[in-house]
A and B are shown apart, each in its own frame.
Chain A
Amino acid sequence: MASRKFLTITAASTLLACLACTAVAQDKESVMKMREQTMKTMGGAMQATGKFVKNEGGTVDDVKAAAARLTEAASKDIASLFPAGSTGGESRAKPEIWTSWDVFAKQWADLKPAAAKLTEAAASGDRQQIAAAMGGVGKACGTCHDQFRAPKQ
């Protein structure tokens, strides 16, 4: 009887543990997907801004909308976008992210003021100012990619 109870408990806990690890694995996958989406949103915003700056058909309203999307993305909690060890597979996130977390988090934090400058520039409608602000955001993106993103393989 006792051994039966023991078996049941063992089986149940094994099952639970498995469920938990699947959940963790799924969680990691979904975090990485969400993160990729956030990065794509920011890229798209910069692309739209670039179209205006390069005079390739974008309007000031496109830049305003892009700055808003960028600001929203930059407001996300970096710790939830990059939980410890969330790399591997398609992800190019370098393990250094977690060993140099403070540097990484600071670089992410630098995005917000850069995005605010773009919002300001978009409100002015001045192409030069927008180009300069776009460069500022780009610098924030590039600095972090340089240090914490592995090259495409």
Chain B
Amino acid sequence: MGHRSLILAITLVPVALAASGPSAVAAETPPADAVRRGEYVFNAAGCLGCHTDEKGGGAPLAGGRGLATPFGTFHTPNITPDPTHGIGRWTEAQFVKAFREGEGPGGTHLFPAFPYASYTRMTDADLKDLRAYLMTRPASAQANRPHDLDPPFGWRFLLPVWKALYLDEGPLPDDPSKPAEWNRGRYLVEALGHCGECHTPRDWMGGMDQDRRFAGSSEGPEGDKIPNITPEPKAGIGGWSVGDIASFLEIGMTPDGDFVGSGMGEVIRNSTSKLTPEDRRAIAVYLKSVPAVK
């Protein structure tokens, strides 16, 4: 009898495993719709560029790209579903918190090179879809590299101070007095596209100077000079039509027929060229409405 129950147990265990296997996966497998929507959010939010060391031949989203800034060099982390080196063990709530509050699992304050001052504006729905998509990406076991920051910018314990000064947490409600296209454009520019993270100059503490929003910066990432994208006629892009801006975001052509490379070329390739024409137009409409700054 004892013998028989042992055999029964041995027979049943694999059955139980087989039964629990697919159902456990099913619980983790997000609906195809969420993944598809998440891919669009992923493109609009431009995640690929910073989280991939393209020049070094790194795996997509495995991190390791060095971002030289006036505060030191950030090395972007692995955001593949790898459980050890990536974000595979992050719960949905932890994922949302990272974007909303700039806080990783275990209460680690994240550096704002991860542009949560913008991503905090994302809706819960978009964040959940984005996570669903990221979890379908191939995992990479590439270990993260620590940042090389100049003091005091590398002192994580100072980050709550930075957040108190510069992080205005939470999504941006639509302005009912404005057309839907404008509201969509604002969401794409301010939240997903995080355009201001490069195009708005930063003060000495690395916060965005809100009085000079989108006025450009001489100290962009990798030392690039970042242009003014406000509607100011001379310093900015006041002379560009909505169509000029939309086609620039699609194929990278400026109104004088030049084609951009470098940082913006990458943004166009990875992000804005993959948006719908309606979304590119919405971005253009919103940009034409922001205050002109010289």
Q: Which of B14-22, B204-212, B262-270 contacts A (4 or more CB under 8 A)?
A: B262-270
Q: Which of B27-35, B57-65, B128-136, B250-258 contacts A (4 or more CB under 8 A)?
A: B250-258
What string of 1s and 0s marks CB contacts (under 8 Å) between A41-76 and chain B? Answer: 011111110100111100000000000000000000
Q: Which of B72-80, B101-109, B169-177, B241-249 contacts A (4 or more CB under 8 A)?
A: B241-249
B242: nearest chain-A partner, CB-CB: A54
Contacts of A150 in B (CB 8 A): 262
Determine whether B260 belongs to the interface, using a CB cutoff of 8 Å to chain A: yes
**A-B CB pair tally, cutoff 8 Å:** 70
Chain B: residues with Cβ within 8 Å of the partner, total of 24
What's the dominant secondary structure at chain B's contact region? mixed
Determine whether B157 belongs to the interface, using a CB cutoff of 8 Å to chain A: no
CB atoms of B257 and A45 under 8 A apart: yes
Contact status of A142 and B252, CB under 8 A, knowing A50-B257, A56-B243, A147-B261 = yes
CB distance from B137 to the nearest CB of A (A): 24
CB atoms of A47 and B262 under 8 A apart: no
Contacts of B266 in A (CB 8 A): 146
CB distance from A75 to the nearest CB of B (A): 19
Chain A: residues with Cβ within 8 Å of the partner, total of 29
Some 16 contacts from A to B, beta carbons below 8 A apart, are: A43-B257, A43-B258, A46-B257, A50-B247, A50-B257, A134-B253, A138-B253, A138-B259, A142-B261, A142-B269, A148-B261, A149-B261, A151-B225, A151-B261, A151-B262, A153-B225
A interface with B by C-beta (< 8 Å)? 42-48, 50, 53-56, 134-135, 138-139, 141-153
Starting from the known contacts A54-B243, A142-B265, A151-B262, 7 additional A-B residue pairs (CB-CB under 8 Å) come to A44-B257, A138-B251, A138-B252, A142-B252, A149-B261, A150-B262, A153-B225
B interface with A by C-beta (< 8 Å)? 224-225, 227, 241, 243-244, 247, 250-253, 255-263, 265-266, 268-269
